[in-house]
Structure 1
Amino acid sequence: MSATQFFPLVDVAGDAYERGRQHGRAVPERIAAGAMLYRAQLSHRGLDSATIDTLARSMVPQIQAFDETYLEEMRGIADGAGTTLEDILTINCRTEMLYGFARMQDDTMRHEEMEDGDCTGLVVLPRRSATGRLIHAHNWDWRQECGDTCIVLRIRSKNGPDILSFTEAGALARHGLNSNGMSLTGNAMSCHKDFQNGPGAPVVLLRRRLLEATNLAHAMRAVYGAQRYCSSNMILAQSSADDGCGISLEAAPDEVYPMLPQADVLVHANHWLSPVALIRLKDPGLAARPDSLYRQHRVETALRAIEGRGVSWDDIRSILADDFGYPDGVLRSPKPGDFSSISATVATTLMDAANGVMWVARKPYEGREFQEYAL
């Protein structure tokens, strides 16, 4: 298989601006394609170029309030790629920009038109793992074009753990692991409180902060302490050579609902699981992605069915390739999405954070060839 069929590895180091500049210089074509993709998605919803730029700039105060260095890194990415800061802001804040515009238009857009992808994540604790180490894995279902706009970003840090993140080119993070054994995956969620209480931290930036965490408690405090603009689920784990722990945090804008592993397994798709959340929240997005219900069930059932031995990486690859309900399976094959887009599983990611290793398959509906990346 040729290298072009895998995601490129981008190495960065130095201060925030320098890291960004190295990132931008390494993959300018992918950054340009990503910015073009989201500008097109926004324009299909009636936004002209000037409005997109205005919305992008409106995110600057929220980013500065959350972490000024993240804005400096975005400036570096823009300069390195030879593009505008507005393009980089759009890549990192497209969800908030899109929903924010909908709020300005008195909620005229349907929830399914603002969907941020259908994903399935899982953790298997060391006691259930064939290797004796924690398994963390994820399917990212989003725009098919992102198979050509993503990278694996390796960040060398002077002031914290090194990071290995699968992300969109130009974005600060999506999911990944760090040199302290922390790992993160995130799934889209929705509730009736989203975008009701003013601006908050963009989801991409919150994920980056979690990947910078020194330990699981630090990461959890970051979620609980963040001002959140919209709902999301974050599966966090910390691994060592022979131990590990994982937790799922269902984060609404105003409250966090934790879910711990059951029988040493944790699975999350795109709907609320916490009994308390189910009582308190309405989920307007579930009608757009009802397959979340059976994706959750099928992954849980498949993991429970493995008895008498540990869960292997081959088991995980097979479970995340389940295409029951084609094309709306755990593995999503390309299908029409909103506004002429194509929805698909962009990547399957497997993480052994204790060893600092990640395996990623690009467009896994075409074939399950995994490339290894390591800290």
Structure 2
Amino acid sequence: MASSETPLSEYHPPVVELSGTHYEIGVSHGRQLRDQIRKQLDIYKKMFLSVSGMEWPEVRDVAKAYHNTIHKKAYYLLDEMRGIADGMGDGTTVMDIVALNARSEIALGMWQDGCTALGWHLKSNSSRRLKKHGRQILAQNWDWRTEVGQNLALITIKQFSKPQIWMVTEPGIVGKIGFNSSSVGVTLNAIRAKQTHGDLLPIHCICRIALESTSVENAISRIHELGGAASCQTLLIADPSVCRGLEVAPHHITYLGEDKNGLITHTNHLLATKDVGEKAWEDGSQTRLRRVNEICGEIISTFDYDQLADEVTPQLLRQNVFSDRHNAPQAISQSPSDPQKSTETLFNIVMVFEHKEEPKAELIFGRPDQSSGRVYSLPW
């Protein structure tokens, strides 16, 4: 485990492989990541108190509604959360783990973060292999509190009769950002809106369910069947054929499609959804969205159409898009702007999906413009 002084670009995350029944998956998760989960609980206890004025017993009390909803709508994930608590073996309860997984909903849109995501469907007239279906890129800078970065983990999950999952997550949380063996990937951007419903699943459960899907269509169908998410968030979900943006709000989903260049981009404000009580975000969200579109436009103008599918690589996107410091500190590659709310880019992931090819991704920790550390290849 890295010390708090270790630069995040040099962070070496725990790599955890989980399999078995859902309870067994949870127990293994809790045992292998016990120290990181304890630290996460300490971090969120302090954050809830400082930002929303809630002591942890009150947080756990609010989490009861989500406990009941997870039991009704995705009982196997509650089994997994129970296993995480039991695997820790230190008195941590399932309600503590539910609170971690519902932290976005319990905070009621009070927290600020960053995050810039894009999906890019690239085709080539000159390549027979890519002409029909193309190559799908799904990528994100994930921005959150600096102290969380030293606890992040790489997790793979093998479940009976479901695709294998590879994801980057906060220990104790069952679904986050990543992809599966069916070449379905998910990114997540937060939206500051107070509207939330305890009768719907927390967004991290929705991410996990999307990561268990066999296609974008399958993921969207499952999310619809469940009634959407308990809070307002944006997901980009991609497979080799298509990417869709989902602005999810309680009992409502708005879809965003690819533009004429095959692009979907998103930051931290709603583009199409209305009347959900969205709070004004820092102006960095609007600026980052304009900037990511500008840079992608520059890339498009640099190469011939037939070259794009080969030239738009994870390395090019890291260096040209996700390292951008325009409007710093509220840049695509974000640095802390407030010592009391030290938010920065904690990792960058670029996933690549193609028909009849194994899915793959490249991952770095820390800000892309500063990173001199290891590039992780997924699957590992």
Please say whether Structure 1 and Structure 2 have the same fold, judged by a TM-score greater than 0.5.
yes
Query: Matched residues in 1 for 2:276 and 2:57: separation?
Result: 35
Query: Matched residues in 2 for 1:79 and 1:58: separation?
Result: 21
Query: Matched residues in 2 for 1:36 and 1:88: separation?
Result: 12
Structure 1 residues 28 and 221: alpha-carbon distance in aligned structure 2, compared to 1, 3 A threshold: same
Query: Matched residues in 1 for 2:49 and 2:254: separation?
Result: 35
Structure 1 residues 293 and 300: alpha-carbon distance in aligned structure 2, compared to 1, 3 A threshold: same
Report how many aligned residue pairs link the two structures: 349
Q: How does 1:22-33 map to 2 (within 5 A)?
A: 22-33=28-39
Q: Name the counterpart of 1:106.
A: none
CA-CA distance at 1:117 after TM superposition: 2.3
Partners of 1:361 and 1:368 within 8 A in 2: no
Partners of 1:178 and 1:353 within 8 A in 2: no
Query: Matched residues in 2 for 1:314 and 1:124: separation?
Result: 15
Partners of 1:63 and 1:201 within 8 A in 2: yes
Q: Name the counterpart of 2:352.
A: 352
TM-score after normalising by structure 2: 0.85
Query: Matched residues in 1 for 2:55 and 2:289: separation?
Result: 38
Equivalent position amino acid for 2:111 in 1: E
Matched, 1:56 2:63: yes
CA RMSD of aligned residues (A): 2.4
Matched, 1:127 2:120: no
Deviates most, 69-78 or 265-274: 265-274
Q: How does 1:325-340 map to 2 (within 5 A)?
A: 325-336=327-338, 340=340
Query: Matched residues in 1 for 2:289 and 2:257: separation?
Result: 15
Query: Matched residues in 2 for 1:231 and 1:66: separation?
Result: 19
Q: Name the counterpart of 2:98.
A: 89
Query: Matched residues in 1 for 2:175 and 2:124: separation?
Result: 29
CA-CA distance at 1:4 after TM superposition: 6.5
Match of 2:263 among 262, 265, 270: 265
Equivalent position amino acid for 1:213 in 2: S
CA-CA distance at 1:57 after TM superposition: 3.2
Fraction of identical pairs, as percent: 25
Q: Name the counterpart of 2:26.
A: 20
Match of 2:85 among 74, 78, 83: 78
Query: Matched residues in 2 for 1:359 and 1:65: separation?
Result: 36
Query: Matched residues in 2 for 1:145 and 1:259: separation?
Result: 33
Partners of 2:192 and 2:281 within 8 A in 1: no
Residue 325 of structure 1 aligns to a residue whose secondary structure is: coil
**Structure 2: gaps (5+ residues):** 1-6
Residue 102 of structure 2 aligns to a residue whose secondary structure is: helix
CA-CA distance at 1:176 after TM superposition: 0.7
Q: Name the counterpart of 2:41.
A: 35
Partners of 1:95 and 1:116 within 8 A in 2: no
Structure 1 residues 324 and 304: alpha-carbon distance in aligned structure 2, compared to 1, 3 A threshold: same
CA-CA distance at 1:26 after TM superposition: 1.1
Equivalent position amino acid for 1:315 in 2: L
Q: Name the counterpart of 2:3.
A: none
Query: Matched residues in 2 for 1:345 and 1:324: separation?
Result: 14
Q: Name the counterpart of 1:295.
A: 288
**Structure 1: gaps (5+ residues):** 100-110
Query: Matched residues in 2 for 1:26 and 1:2: separation?
Result: 21
Q: Name the counterpart of 2:200.
A: 200
Equivalent position amino acid for 1:261 in 2: E
